[in-house]
Structure 1
Amino acid sequence: MNLRSIWSVAAAEMRMNRRLARTWLFIVVTLFMCVGLLINSFVNYSFSSSISSTTLLNSPLMAPYQLYPSLIGFFAIWVIFLAFDVRSRDKRDRLDEVVGVLPITNLELVCGRATGITVLMLIPIVALIAVYWIAGVVARLTWPESGIREPELFVTLATLFIDMIPNILLWVTLVMAVTVLVRLRVIAAAIALGLVGATIWAQNNVPIYVLNVINTYTVADVLPSFLAPTFTNLEIITHR
């Protein structure tokens, strides 16, 4: 495979998706969703931490446990609405005619498009977590009594590198495969949404000893800890 050809396709895919209104809509919705989750967590903790020990789940330390799984699930849905019309977009833009005269293989085309969508989605994720981190540091230094602080470093890095990239690549390739196999876009989108919903339902309902087999986020196995920080382990790496 020619890496330069793959990156050229990825760059073209990113430019094409940046022009779509739904791309910016999902970025804005994701931003508000994450800010709302964090505010709700911090407010619940500030009002109930003095009367209940179980409010630790809403503490700033555990905020990644509340935020990151929701972020992964939401971006899995975003993948569907970015990639479900790949087939119709190709026919509309006559991409098959273009590919026929270019020195590029089908595998390079698929890898390039998957890479483009993945990189495009990682940009707002990294930006959001970076803002969350900086805001937490500033709040801890300037307003320590608020209890707000930055997310635990190792769980955050694991979420970015061990969780987000494999998850996005998985759903991008899966949705692209469904759209190729199913001609009708509505049915393809419904199947993909059903798969995402089934995954989320299974993660919330299966016995704990089965969760390690199907979970898609590190915080299901490794809770944030400043005393015993853990980046990842062999079991998680093997699963990914």
Structure 2
Amino acid sequence: MDGKIIWYVALHEMRTLRKLLRTHIFTLAALFICTCYFLAITIAHMQEGTEIPMFSAISPRYAMSLLSGSFLALFCTGILLLTFDQVKRDEITRIHEVVSSKPATNFEMFIGRLLGVSTTMAIPILFFLLSVMTYGLIADKFSIKFGEPVEFWSVVSFVLLDMFPNFLFFGSLVVLFSSLFKSRMLAMLLTLSGLIAIFWINSRLPLHLSKPMQTVTGNVLFPSELTPEVFTPVTLFNRVALISMSLGMLHWASNFVARVVPSRSKNLVVGGLSLGFGLVLIATMFGAQAFENNRINRWVEVHDEHFNPSVFPDVHHIRGSVEIKPGRTLTLDLKLDVTVDVNQDTDFILFSLNPSYHISNLAVGGVNVNDHKFKHGLLKIPQRYFNSDVNELAITAKGRPNSRFAYLDTVSTLSKVIGPDVRQLRQLGTENAIFHPSFVLLSPGIKWYPTSGTATNEDAWELRKRDFFTLNVDVSVPRRWLVAGPAKRETLDGGKRAKYRFEQSNPIPEFALVGSRFESASIEVEGISFECLYAESHRRKFEWFSIEPDEVIRQRITWK
């Protein structure tokens, strides 16, 4: 394969497309539709964002998550319109004999022309993205109410991972159909039907099934300024599969053109291998997804089977230390004061703990426990270690919490969410916890610390008593990090790391920790402290209130 020949073919195709009226009509129409979509989101956010919480997520900043699928489907349609009659155009312009006499192979001709079409469609969408990003920066700089900056990394992932793989895939599909069928219109309609079907299915499949098929990064990754991600392994493998299948279809299409080539059998074999590799890769991702879903369902089954409130301990107090190494590990060294009903005829006392931990030490009342069982997120401690008084349970564990082990009661409910509601579910958030190198959110639902009883039927308070406890925990994080917790933060001497203490004397049912390189804004009113932690990138938003906050608030009330 000669890259120089492919590039020359691509340049020739781009020059040809510039002369076609349909290219200009479609480009203008597509840009108009994209602009209308973007304006609709911006207007809705400006008018309703302060009154309807959902519209705070439906904003220009997160436009790539909301609209990237629509943008991509629209411009993929343009790829079909400009590709389906390539061979017919050559015959009309009487250039097909000249093209056939060139040393380029059929495959090089196809991939070069498809590259030319893709570049022709990429230019207007890149122009549109650059325009809205520039306007967003201007609106933010001059505090214009209409508009805000689009999250940068969501645009990067769209450009690098979404545009060309999708353009190549659907373009290759229409090239193959055009080679197989005499009717070019039939080839385009079949490909267009496939395009609509794929994007329609991806927008309606349940979250636990759709990821291996998602061809749009915005449907998998919600844009974030605190934890930006360009891709996940699933999206990367999906794009590799798309490109592999595209190359396979182009190799096959090379055999069905009028031009005779000596490498027909080679094209069939290489095309079959490429197409097969892509399909196997997608099937493997579905298999991995099914394995993960089965594991979650197994967690639910095990916890439901062991649901017996009579063997659930009563946790009175939690103390100890938590060491957070963001993105790597979480180390617990905790002591729990618990009481149990020793009169119950049972073998084990049950706790829930995230299954990704490795327990290095476990003791009850100073006696090491070596015959405990820890599997499927269920910690079983023999009852004989406990007495009728308050028992001290000491546990040391280390690991990276699995965020899928969370809110097990909702697994069945979420799996039934299909259709348009899936998009709303994505906007509300799909992560149970965040353990990113620059941001950590440890929600109580992932059981990152030991909790009483099973992790299912937690809201069945008519069957199980809700557990309340007091707290005295030291949290160690990287330097310059701040942590929000269940009580007022007390700074300790942590050496090379930042260390904070959270002491809560009022009983609480659960607690979470949130940490990052936050900035702090606080005020004390009549002995009550109010604090807001915010990222440095959001500092300018808070400085707006810092000059004369009372006057600014009055203005905001007047505006409404």
TM-score between the two structures when normalised by the length of structure 2: 0.42
Query: What's the offset of the Cα at 1:145?
Result: 4.7
| 1:49 paired residue number | 49
SS in 2 for 1:97: helix
Write the mapping of 1:148-167 to structure 2, written as runs, cut at 5 A.
148-167=147-166
| Larger Cα-atom Rg | 2
Query: What's the offset of the Cα at 1:56?
Result: 2.3
Contact conserved, 1:13 with 1:117, CA < 8 A, in 2?
yes
1:215 alignment partner AA: Q
* Cα distance in 1 between the residues matched to 2:42 and 2:76: 26
| 1:183 paired residue number | 182
Write the mapping of 1:80-229 to structure 2, written as runs, cut at 5 A.
80-142=80-142, 144-146=143-145, 148-229=147-228
Q: Which deviates more, 164-173 or 44-53?
A: 44-53
* Cα distance in 1 between the residues matched to 2:113 and 2:144: 47
1:173 alignment partner AA: S
SS in 2 for 1:149: coil
* Cα distance in 2 between the residues matched to 1:22 and 1:57: 36
CA offsets 1:163-185 (integer angstroms, 9 cap, x no match):
11111111111111111111112
1:112 alignment partner AA: G
Q: 1:100 to 1:25 in 2, by over 3 A?
A: closer
2:180 alignment partner AA: L
2:148 alignment partner AA: R
* Cα distance in 2 between the residues matched to 1:82 and 1:66: 27
| 1:15 paired residue number | 15
Cα root mean square deviation, aligned: 1.4
Write the mapping of 1:33-44 to structure 2, written as runs, cut at 5 A.
33-44=33-44
* Cα distance in 1 between the residues matched to 2:91 and 2:10: 18
* Cα distance in 1 between the residues matched to 2:71 and 2:93: 32
Contact conserved, 1:61 with 1:225, CA < 8 A, in 2?
no
Query: What's the offset of the Cα at 1:23?
Result: 0.6
| 1:4 paired residue number | 4
Matched, 1:66 2:66: yes
* Cα distance in 1 between the residues matched to 2:32 and 2:111: 31
* Cα distance in 2 between the residues matched to 1:157 and 1:234: 16
Query: What's the offset of the Cα at 1:73?
Result: 0.6
Query: What's the offset of the Cα at 1:147?
Result: 5.5
The structure whose residues are more often strand, as a share, is 2
1:200 alignment partner AA: F
* Cα distance in 1 between the residues matched to 2:132 and 2:186: 37
1:27 alignment partner AA: T
Contact conserved, 1:79 with 1:171, CA < 8 A, in 2?
yes
Sequence identity (%)? 28
Query: What's the offset of the Cα at 1:75?
Result: 0.7
1:216 alignment partner AA: T
Matched, 1:77 2:81: no
CA offsets 1:109-155 (integer angstroms, 9 cap, x no match):
1111111111111111211111111111111112x251522211111
Which one has more relative contact order, counting CA pairs under 8 Å at least 6 apart? 1
Q: Which deviates more, 202-211 or 8-17?
A: 202-211
Q: Which deviates more, 67-76 or 201-210?
A: 201-210
1:168 alignment partner AA: F
Matched, 1:31 2:40: no
* Cα distance in 1 between the residues matched to 2:6 and 2:188: 26
Q: Which deviates more, 200-209 or 216-225?
A: 200-209
* Cα distance in 2 between the residues matched to 1:116 and 1:59: 34
Contact conserved, 1:56 with 1:62, CA < 8 A, in 2?
no
Contact conserved, 2:151 with 2:224, CA < 8 A, in 1?
yes
* Cα distance in 1 between the residues matched to 2:189 and 2:86: 15
2:150 alignment partner AA: P
1:118 alignment partner AA: S
Q: What number of residue pairs does the alignment pair up?
A: 239
* Cα distance in 1 between the residues matched to 2:169 and 2:91: 24
2:209 alignment partner AA: V
Contact conserved, 1:155 with 1:219, CA < 8 A, in 2?
yes
Q: 1:54 to 1:82 in 2, by over 3 A?
A: same
Q: 1:100 to 1:54 in 2, by over 3 A?
A: closer
* Cα distance in 2 between the residues matched to 1:145 and 1:105: 55
Contact conserved, 2:80 with 2:171, CA < 8 A, in 1?
yes
Query: What's the offset of the Cα at 1:50?
Result: 2.0
* Cα distance in 2 between the residues matched to 1:112 and 1:96: 15
Contact conserved, 2:50 with 2:56, CA < 8 A, in 1?
no
CA offsets 1:176-215 (integer angstroms, 9 cap, x no match):
1111111112211211111111112211222222211211
Q: Which deviates more, 200-209 or 217-226?
A: 200-209
Contact conserved, 2:212 with 2:235, CA < 8 A, in 1?
no
TM-score between the two structures when normalised by the length of structure 1: 0.94
Query: What's the offset of the Cα at 1:90?
Result: 2.5
* Cα distance in 1 between the residues matched to 2:209 and 2:93: 45
The structure whose residues are more often helix, as a share, is 1
* Cα distance in 1 between the residues matched to 2:29 and 2:100: 38
1:220 alignment partner AA: N
Contact conserved, 2:212 with 2:238, CA < 8 A, in 1?
yes
